[in-house]
Amino acid sequence: MEIIVSKKENKSAGKIFLYSDIKSLKSKCTKEEFQFLKNESSSNDVVEFGNYDTRKVIISSKKKAIEFFRKTAANLNLQGDFDLLCLDVSKTKTIAFLEGALLNDYSFSKYKSDYNSDSASINVVSTEIKATDLEQLENVIKSVNSARDWVNEPVNQLTTDNYLSQINQLTKIGVEVDVFRKSKLESLNMGGILGVNKGSNEEPALAKLEWKPKGYNNDKPIVLIGKGILFDTGGINIKTGNFMTDMKADMGGSATVVATIKAIAKNKLPIHVIVLTPITENRINGNELVPGDVITMHSGKTVEVLNTDAEGRLVLADALSFAKKFNPELVIDVATLTGSAFRLTGHNGAVVMGTSDKNIHQLKKSSETTFERIIELPMWEEFEDTLKSNIADLNNLGSGEGQAVCAGFFLKNFVDYPWIHLDIAGPAFIPSDKDYHKKGGTGFGVRLLYQFLKDKFDLN
């Protein structure tokens, strides 16, 4: 989709009008059209008329939330050329409309031999919207689409080496990338990452990405950590039924944080940000972990592995303890971690918990802006008690009840800084199209984290 800003209308294009007061439409329509719209708008927020070439869409913005504009743009399924005329609506609502149109324009079709894309072109006629506004929006959406692509890629294509190669491409936009492979992970005693990797025939990795521009605002870095399990069989506690079908999506947390730093760098936000993402598969090859094994983590703590399908928390724990060396202002980990979180939110949002009430409150506000919604779970000590082990410092499972909270408490053992845990098991991958979300990987969390950091550092 191509979007440009212009002061002139394209007479041969279809028209999309965003208005609040219907009187603002009077000069844009014939007398008959205006009377028709007065009648229709009393019961409809969106009115369409005309044929393909002269299609007109009239959208009332009166008392409408921002999300209305994203969904409306997506549900129009625009094709062809359009003028978008912003008559008496806010810049924020216009940007939201364009955001929905761009998000809806995504398709993962690289493996389809007969795919044809009919794209749209939008000419934004507005004195408020600038070319820089569009550039920043497009940079964010392209980053979301990168996350979608990575999640949608099958594991025989997105191998560890292939993913690292794509991560290294971010050096072209000023992101510094360091990659630790097996020998380095062994020297760092990262028993969680190495333990999960035992069943894989590919070496594991821990990728560190850093954006540290001149004049950055924060004395201490923000650290984002993403779970990068490229495929999760469950290990020896193998997933049954159809629960393994979409497990290429188990690196959704990694895709989110890598795409977030991409958006930050593309738009040159003056924030010092570090991303850590442990990358491996959870497979079976005869050398894998088995229930009852004890591993020693990077922090020095020992963990009794009671279930090999609770592997995400093991790799995250090593990254969380490694993050201490950066003396972070805040650490946010993002992971497709538990079915328990999915059962709470469905595909509609994520679960959040942590130790920083102030930042969680701000994250909630940012989630309302982006409509990437979150539910906070209380961290009750009763769930922490279930992580006790008879032979190690803790076990990796906890109770069957409240698994999302048990997983959060497990991770809490490896932090000593302000911390937020975001479990995106529900919204990271969806079974069918919904509004501007396309079937498969959604890139959930990229817009949320990007907006959160802009809000936190007053960069709006």
Q: Residues with catalytic annotation?
A: 239, 313
The DSSP code sequence of 285-315 is SSSS--TT-EEE-TTS-EEE-S-TT--HHHH
Contact yes or no for 93/69 (Cβ under 8 A):
yes
Distance, in Å, from the CA atom of 205 to the CA atom of 196, rounded to the nearest integer, reads 12
Contact yes or no for 331/223 (Cβ under 8 A):
yes
Measured at the alpha carbon of residue 357, what is the angle toward residues 68 and 258, in degrees to the nearest 5?
65
Report CA-CA distances (Å) from 453 to 332, 359, 450.
11, 10, 5
Largest CA distance in the chain: 82
**From the CA atom positions of the chain, what is the Rg in Å?**
24
The tokens describing 204, both together, are 């594991």
Measured at the alpha carbon of residue 83, what is the angle toward residues 81 and 86, in degrees to the nearest 5?
155
Contact yes or no for 70/137 (Cβ under 8 A):
no
Distance, in Å, from the CA atom of 168 to the CA atom of 208, rounded to the nearest integer, reads 10
Contact yes or no for 312/337 (Cβ under 8 A):
yes
